[in-house]
Amino acid sequence: MGNQLELLIEQQRLRVRDGISVAYRIDRLKKLRQRIAAFRPAIIAALRADLQKPEQEAYVSEIVPLLTELGHAIRKLASWAKPRRVRTPSYLPGGSSRIYYEPYGAVLILSPWNYPFTLSLWPLIGAVAAGNAVILKPSELAPASSALLRELVADVFEPGHVCVIEGDGETGAELLRHHFDYIFFTGSASTGKKVLAAASDFLTPVTLELGGKSPCLVHEDACLKTAAKRIVWGKFMNAGQTCVAPDYVLVHRSVHQALVAELKREIAEQYGAGAHRSGTTARIINRRHMERLLGYLNDGRILAGGGYDAGGLRLEPTLLEPGHLGVGVMQDEIFGPILPIWAYDDVGEAKRIVATLSYRALALYVFTQSRRLQRELLQTVPFGGGCINDTVAHTSSVYLPFGGTGTSGMGSYRGRQSFLTFSHSKSVLRQPVLLDNPLRYRPVKTWVDRFWRFL
């Protein structure tokens, strides 16, 4: 693949240098939107083959978010791409200042298996909108989705503009040995470190969308019914295989039992009994992940659920009371349908637990009606993004940049932020020929020196 890949990257880089007009970008995004709409049955079938994802969940988590993102980019791209005029300081008389948005060039997108369409095409939309060329490498763990992505992209773009390269981890490693102008990676922190190390060889800028343990705090004044409904929805969607899913719940001791009761009712309402047998949830991606999750069931007392079909890779939504904070289920990112619940006595204790288990988490969710507590947590707990009185829903907004901080990632995207992420902001000062500021030139007169010192 070496020489052919190098030629493809250079072909894409030259395509960008020749300039991809805003009108053409919009045209391709419109074509992509049309093809996604036409491919809906095939997308649902691929998600069923890879993840056994229920049809309604496939629409909500994969198809609708893509159509929304595309519609927003198509409407706004012409204004995003215009040079932005900014103020010019008074000591540059007659000058004008503008920021021009320049594409990076050849972009590599490495996407995961858990939301194979959304997490592949969301960044691709931003990269194309900004005028780049793209090579997309989907995860081999979702082969049906990967093959369909290749067909979909080939139906919309020329290979010299956007193409899909399928393959395993070695294919990804081979791609990283080549010089790209930007790399966008979504996946685990361990792989993210390898991506960052490879990018450093070429000083290639990167965005890393990683994961971690996203805490959910339920205070004593929370509306427990609403909290339970939204926690169950955010946690158990896609069988808990969501990077921003609530990883564990910290609940005030005074409402601990009441919240557990509400969570049990909501699981029964949303998934029914024996979800591991009924097909109301997605399956776990593979046997290795299934065995890891089953090991967590021994880390505490099961409060609800716990049923599983090892052969079918299904685990029903499970509530767990951990034995202590040092067990694996409270130390590792769970990435599955197990929700540990831990009681706290005061906010200070809860903040200390979050600082220990989830420093700079990808997301934070807080259920409280206290504006004071909301402000306190927002100002003192570092995290990527999140919700107050909800879970996961912030990721649906095209107006909110999505991204992590620290070990949960670097950089952000979505909506206009995607355009900015895949653009170099080129600052340009235009000066008149005749109007000038004489104070900057040598020789420096005494009064000029005093003037500068006075300032």
Residues labelled catalytic:
209, 243
As a dihedral over the C-alpha atoms of residue 178, residue 184, residue 190, residue 196, rounded to 10 degrees, the angle is: 50
List, in order, residues 6 or more apart from 393 with CB less than 8 Å away. Answer: 230, 234, 387
- Structure tokens of 257? 């039992």
Place of tokens 């890393």: 208
Residues 6+ apart with CB under 8 A from 415: 69, 72, 73, 76, 397, 398, 399, 400, 401
Query: How many residues are given for the chain?
Result: 455
**Four-residue CA torsion sign, 222, 225, 226, 229:** positive
Q: Please give the C-alpha separations between residue 150 and each of 110, 146, 164, 256, 303, in angstroms, as whole numbers.
A: 14, 6, 5, 48, 43
Could you tell me which residues are beta bridge partners of residue 315? 308
The residue type found at 41 is P
Core vs surface per residue 194-213: b (16+ CB within 10 A) or e: bbeebbeeeebbbbbbbbbb
